[in-house]
Structure 1
Amino acid sequence: MAAPVVASVSPSQGPAPGGTTVTVTGTGFTGATTVRFGAKPATSFTVDSSTQITAVSPSGAGSVNLTVTTSQGTSIQQVPFTYVTSPSLTHLTPTQGPVSGGTTVTLTGTGFTGATTVTLGGVPATSFTVNSATQITAVTPPHTGGAAAVTVTTPGGTSNPDSPSAYFFYAASPSLATVTPASGSTAGGATVALTGNDLLGATAVSFGGVAATSFTVNSASQITAVTPPHATGAVAVTVTTPGGTSNPAGYVYLTLPTLLSLVPDQGPAHAGTVVTVTGTDLTTTTEVRFGSTPAAFTVVSPTQVTVVAPVGADGPVGVTITTGAGTSSPLTYTRIPSPGI
């Protein structure tokens, strides 16, 4: 009988600590007494048939020749089995994204060649590409919120899942509840408070698609933002975090009120004169003042407000109207002395 012939081994590589179960195919395997990986005998082996052996690799390094020995001799074919080092993951970029998944993450480390699996919190990546032995690009799968251990599996084993650098943080999607105040001038510059949930790590605040002039994340439930200039009308306010973009909350841009006339434009020093103020953009009037003194008022229309003049000293005084957009330029109202008796 002839010496055994080794034709192939599958898989043809495994981790340096050994333990890989391989299938050896060839001829003349009946009665095999030894299977060696280089100079080391297999940890164990089973002769399945005269043409197949199942063996478990011992520890080793580099590329070694696999041989089978029977009473008829030892195989002489060069059939390599390669020991590969375990992958190591050292860095993720970015380190966080939404629970919905879909974030493209760059994994940096060593030993990535031949990677078969990338997982985040035990869930396989939606897809991944091995760019080199030191870099993989993976797309995160959907996952519950919180930290998820990232692992890379290759023929050399599985990377370090307990390293602090091997975690990806799944962030919940932000939500907005209120914007206060809910309106302001088209000129921008108003400071508004946005309340909601999961606002930490906000990277953008938008008013109708225009970035806020500035913003500060006060807590997970509040952001203070300065409105940018914008055209008149209602706009959607959104907050973007690593968890995604929030639902829209409403904010209304208003034109600064303009005063055109006071009728009458004079009256006695005592209170009670009803003055009709005409102008533009008066709908959201919140205050009317004669000088520094507030006056009772009624909004009649976007162009008219009736006001009860308050008591004051004789002489001219500036009348202003304040709306959500700001305060108008003043018109002059003159208090005239009462006739002597």
Structure 2
Amino acid sequence: MTVTGANFTSATQVRFGANPATSFTVNSDTRITAVAPAGTGTVQVTVTTPAGISSEFVTYAYTSVSLPVLSSVAPSSGPPAGGTTVTLRGSGLSGTTVVRFGATVAPSFTVVSDTQVTAVAPAGSGTVQITVTTPGGTSNGVAYAYASVPVVSSVSPQQGPVFGGNTVILTGSNFSGATAVSFGSTAATSFTVDSPTRISAVAPAGAAGAAQVVVTGPGGTSSPGVPYFYLDAPVLSSVTPGSGPVAGGTGVTLTGSHFLGATAVRFGATPAASFTVVSDTRITAVAPPSTAGAVQVTVTTPGGTGGGLSYLYLAAPVLTALSPAAGPVSGGDTVTLTGSGLAGTTSVQFGTRTAAFTVVSDTALTAVAPPGPAGPVGITVTTPGGTSNALTYSRVLPPTI
């Protein structure tokens, strides 16, 4: 307490009522600083010198002041550089005169009410105790952690479709308490902090190209530097040839775009027997076996699955009858073949000799018998679905006299 007046130079005692000051210092003839002793109520302050005791009635009131109590701090952590505004809750806070983070005084604070104070964290490190001092004393401490800035060292996988939705594993450090994960400027659809060094995040939708993956935590936001690449889904523009036998084995060329990194080529639900990514616009694949009918050809890459063009599986042709069943060794007669699967006929063979032919329908064709030696010969028909069974045609010699 500061006592002001006159003739203080030789003061020998300062009293608060009947109790002497715990200590005092004569600063000048008109000023004394004194430490008030314990007491109650309102008492008269007097100064004693060799000339006597002061007679002016100057009073000092003892008031009941509770010790402040802190119950919580939010947030409970922040960056080493400080600057985070924290909210302290408790009781007896209205007379707060100082807020400390460990031994360091907060650069500023605001008393909101008797139960709440906001304060700006100073720079620091580690975990410190926050205390509040009022005329009633210094409170208990509540823990505040100076957290390190997150560091992202890798993402896996490093690429995915523009529509998002795939799970990406982030590895690094200082992930505890992470509050946000972003792919470029877009927040992750969701994320889980698996450990201080690992986060599982679901990539949001994004534009094709690179996006920087960053993590925000109590210590701040990680520096950009680890990219995640958004890829367009593959586009299929042609399938050549567009058909083949149910036995599979046909080499098929797929053309389109965004084929790099292809992980699968499917004919319907069945994976291709094998495939090779020739370029971003071309894939060669070997058709797997299947049942007769059309299937959709698709290509899968980290950017998604695309395609939807048809490939037709054809059953091998079947011959059931021929007419006539015999002809001259000189050839030239027209033979009608009936059966099924004949519409796509590419070749008619009489043994090893190729015949001229005309497709009448899927169940009939006519062929001109080539010349050959006398005797039986097998007739077969070949289509994209394979080669038929053989029917016997007999060449006969002309009669001689």
Q: TM-score range by the shorter chain?
A: 0.7 to 0.9
2:53 corresponding residue in structure 1: none
Q: Does 1:159 align with 2:222?
A: yes
Q: 1:296 aligns with which of 356, 365, 377?
A: 356
- What secondary structure sits across from 1:246 in the alignment? strand
Deviations along 1:111-152, one digit per CA (max 9) or x if unpaired, are: 111111111111011111122222222111111111211111
Structure 1 pair 291/17, CA: closer, same or farther in 2 (3 Å)? farther
1:323 corresponding residue in structure 2: 383
Structure 1 unaligned residues grouped into runs of 5+: none
Q: 1:146 aligns with which of 209, 213, 235?
A: 209
Deviations along 1:186-221, one digit per CA (max 9) or x if unpaired, are: 111111011222122111111121111111111122
Once the 2 structures are TM-superposed, how far is the Cα of residue 94 of structure 1 from its aligned partner?
2.1
Tell me how far apart the structure 2 counterparts of residues 11 and 192 of structure 1 sit (CA, whole Å): 62
Q: Does 1:232 align with 2:296?
A: no
- What secondary structure sits across from 2:259 in the alignment? coil
Structure 1 pair 49/207, CA: closer, same or farther in 2 (3 Å)? closer
Asked if the contact 2:93/2:111 (under 8 Å) is kept, the reply is: no
Deviations along 1:206-238, one digit per CA (max 9) or x if unpaired, are: 112111111111112221111111111111111
Q: Which amino acid aligns with 1:138?
A: A
Tell me how far apart the structure 2 counterparts of residues 31 and 104 of structure 1 sit (CA, whole Å): 49
Asked if the contact 1:89/1:151 (under 8 Å) is kept, the reply is: yes
1:308 corresponding residue in structure 2: 368
Tell me how far apart the structure 2 counterparts of residues 337 and 146 of structure 1 sit (CA, whole Å): 77
1:14 corresponding residue in structure 2: 78
2:110 corresponding residue in structure 1: 47
Asked if the contact 1:205/1:215 (under 8 Å) is kept, the reply is: yes
Deviations along 1:53-93, one digit per CA (max 9) or x if unpaired, are: 544323322111224567x5873421222111111222222
Once the 2 structures are TM-superposed, how far is the Cα of residue 254 of structure 1 from its aligned partner?
0.9
Asked if the contact 1:235/1:250 (under 8 Å) is kept, the reply is: yes
Tell me how far apart the structure 2 counterparts of residues 57 and 266 of structure 1 sit (CA, whole Å): 108
After superposition, residues 265-304 of structure 1 pair within 5 angstroms as: 265-267=326-328, 269=330, 272-290=332-350, 294-304=354-364
1:64 corresponding residue in structure 2: 128
Q: Does 1:193 align with 2:253?
A: yes
1:82 corresponding residue in structure 2: 145
Q: 1:252 aligns with which of 312, 320, 325?
A: 312
Q: 1:213 aligns with which of 263, 273, 283?
A: 273
Tell me how far apart the structure 1 counterparts of residues 167 and 355 of structure 2 sit (CA, whole Å): 60
> Normalised by the size of structure 1, how large is the TM-score?
0.84
Question: Quick one: higher RCO (CA 8 Å, sep 6+), 1 or 2?
Answer: 1
Once the 2 structures are TM-superposed, how far is the Cα of residue 185 of structure 1 from its aligned partner?
0.7
1:36 corresponding residue in structure 2: 100
Asked if the contact 2:112/2:118 (under 8 Å) is kept, the reply is: no
After superposition, residues 168-179 of structure 1 pair within 5 angstroms as: 168-179=228-239
Tell me how far apart the structure 2 counterparts of residues 186 and 28 of structure 1 sit (CA, whole Å): 85
Q: Percent identity?
A: 51
Q: Does 1:127 align with 2:190?
A: yes
- What secondary structure sits across from 2:100 in the alignment? strand
Q: Which amino acid aligns with 2:190?
A: S
In our comparison, the structure showing a higher alpha carbon Rg is 2
Tell me how far apart the structure 2 counterparts of residues 172 and 283 of structure 1 sit (CA, whole Å): 40
Deviations along 1:273-295, one digit per CA (max 9) or x if unpaired, are: 32222333212112334566654
Deviations along 1:8-47, one digit per CA (max 9) or x if unpaired, are: 4332210123232223456556684x543223343x3143
Asked if the contact 1:30/1:49 (under 8 Å) is kept, the reply is: no
- What secondary structure sits across from 2:128 in the alignment? strand
Q: Which amino acid aligns with 1:97?
A: G
Tell me how far apart the structure 1 counterparts of residues 69 and 123 of structure 2 sit (CA, whole Å): 21
Structure 2 unaligned residues grouped into runs of 5+: 1-62
Aligned pair count reads 333
Tell me how far apart the structure 1 counterparts of residues 249 and 213 of structure 2 sit (CA, whole Å): 44
Asked if the contact 1:189/1:226 (under 8 Å) is kept, the reply is: yes
Once the 2 structures are TM-superposed, how far is the Cα of residue 336 of structure 1 from its aligned partner?
6.4
Q: 2:161 aligns with which of 89, 98, 101?
A: 98
Tell me how far apart the structure 2 counterparts of residues 279 and 56 of structure 1 sit (CA, whole Å): 91
Q: Which amino acid aligns with 1:106?
A: I
Q: Which amino acid aligns with 2:144?
A: F
Asked if the contact 2:133/2:139 (under 8 Å) is kept, the reply is: no
> Normalised by the size of structure 2, how large is the TM-score?
0.73
Asked if the contact 1:87/1:156 (under 8 Å) is kept, the reply is: yes
Tell me how far apart the structure 1 counterparts of residues 398 and 277 of structure 2 sit (CA, whole Å): 58
Aligned-residue Cα RMSD (Å) equals 3.0
Asked if the contact 2:86/2:121 (under 8 Å) is kept, the reply is: yes
Tell me how far apart the structure 1 counterparts of residues 385 and 129 of structure 2 sit (CA, whole Å): 82
Asked if the contact 1:16/1:85 (under 8 Å) is kept, the reply is: yes
